[in-house]
Amino acid sequence: MSVPLNRFRGALLGALMGDCIGALFEGESSLSSTSVRAVLENLDKGGKPKVLTYTDDTAMTRSMVQSFLENKEFDAKDLADRFTKEYFSDPGRGYGAGVTQVFEKLYSGEYSDIFTPAKEQFNGKGSYGNGAAMRAMAIPLAFPNIADVIEYAKTSGKLTHASSLGYNGAVLQALAVHYALQGESRDSFLSKLLDHMDEIEADEKSKSDAVELELGEFPYRKRLEKIKEFLDKRCVSREDVVDQLGNGVAALESVPTAIYSFLRCMDPVEDLPKEFNILQRTLGYCFLLGGDTDTIATMAGAIAGAYHGDVQVPNEWKLRSESYEDAEKWAEELHQMYTSR
């Protein structure tokens, strides 16, 4: 399957802009559309751009990309080493409150199994945060085979997120980027994700983790069904989206929201400038939802960028995103690697 280079550039730049710009709004519970518009319009003003720094989302994605490009294959030990090294060289990127303990344990050298520190998180329950999902986009850009995408998303997720809610969120995000790269139509995109989650959430651990958290079985599939229901309605308020899909740091509260934002924003959105293209609209919509804006926007930006390509990347937004040159260079290298497989 040949995928054009512009989709790789779109995915990496979409994710980067979502993180860098989204970090300006992160943690705000109720954002007025006027204040979001004011910030976004300011980005377009030109002049000497103030660079917006990326956060943990991009820092971890960068480690994934560099590992794949250097090793030309998936290597979990190398990923664990890179995450740890990156965290200790630049700890101020806004990492989740729990995950830093994983890096400290890996750094200590006292663990012979690289997956054990993640298993010890949250009294042995493992993290269900969105930290595994926020970086998972790197996998479908390096590995075209769907079975590889699923396996590597799960395994790389388990390095930090041992709860199935955490790593299954990473699998879902990786699959969404995979199908967006293929340019799958809106309906078949969602039904493919539903079919996958039906299988992925059927194992005993997925079932018992979800039940223990009082979510019932197949929590991701249920949210994808809610997305379908929302898309079939003419008008769904952002309050309902936040209420039913979420906007929080849990993977279940953010990965489906990112997928919905991508699909929803193929149609016009009120409260955003009419001249916005679909990628800008998708990112803007994620910001308007509030909550974990950088992470939801980085995930939606990866999916929308993979789908629409870099023609929709606004230059002013790109120029303000830290290290966008790396994203452009890596897009070419990943594209070459992907195409040669």
Beta bridge partners of 321: 52
The nearest distance, CB 64 to ligand 8NA, in angstroms, is: 13
DSSP character string of 51-114: PBPP-HHHHHHHHHHHHHHHHSS--HHHHHHHHHHHHHH-TTTT--TTHHHHHHHHHHT--SST
Identify which of 187, 154, 176 has the alpha carbon closest to the alpha carbon of residue 296.
176
The token pair that represents 239 in the structure block? 């309050």
Tokens 């979800």 found at: 210
Q: Which is nearer to ligand 8NA, 148 or 292 (CB)?
A: 292
Instruction: Tell me the residue length of the chain.
Output: 341
Q: Which does residue 129 bind out of Mg ion, ligand 8NA, none, counting CB within 5 to 8 angstroms by kind?
A: ligand 8NA
Q: Which does residue 99 bind out of Mg ion, ligand 8NA, none, counting CB within 5 to 8 angstroms by kind?
A: ligand 8NA
The nearest distance, CB 104 to ligand 8NA, in angstroms, is: 12
- Per-residue contact flags (x/-) with Mg ion for residues 87 to 116, judged by CB under 5 A: -------x----------------------
Residues that bind ligand 8NA (CB under 6 A): 26-27, 55-57, 94, 96-99, 122, 125, 127-131, 134, 163, 249, 292, 294-295
Stretch of 55-63, 169-177, 186-194, 208-216 lying at the interface with Mg ion (CB under 5 A): 55-63
Q: Which is nearer to ligand 8NA, 57 or 148 (CB)?
A: 57
Q: Which is nearer to Mg ion, 65 or 190 (CB)?
A: 65
Instruction: Measure the CA–CA gap between 66 and 3, rounded to whole angstroms.
Output: 21
Beta bridge partners of 129: 250
- Is 317:45 a contact under the CB 8 Å cutoff? no
The answer for residues whose C-beta is within 8 angstroms of residue 258's C-beta and 6 or more apart is: 173, 176, 286, 296, 297, 299, 300, 303
Q: Which is nearer to ligand 8NA, 6 or 321 (CB)?
A: 321
Q: What Cα–Cα distance (Å) separates residue 269 from each residue in 240, 279, 305?
A: 15, 12, 18
Stretch of 256-264, 274-282, 291-299, 324-332 lying at the interface with Mg ion (CB under 5 A): 291-299
The nearest distance, CB 249 to ligand 8NA, in angstroms, is: 5
The nearest distance, CB 253 to Mg ion, in angstroms, is: 11
Binding site for Mg ion (CB under 5 A): 23, 26, 55-57, 94, 292, 294-295
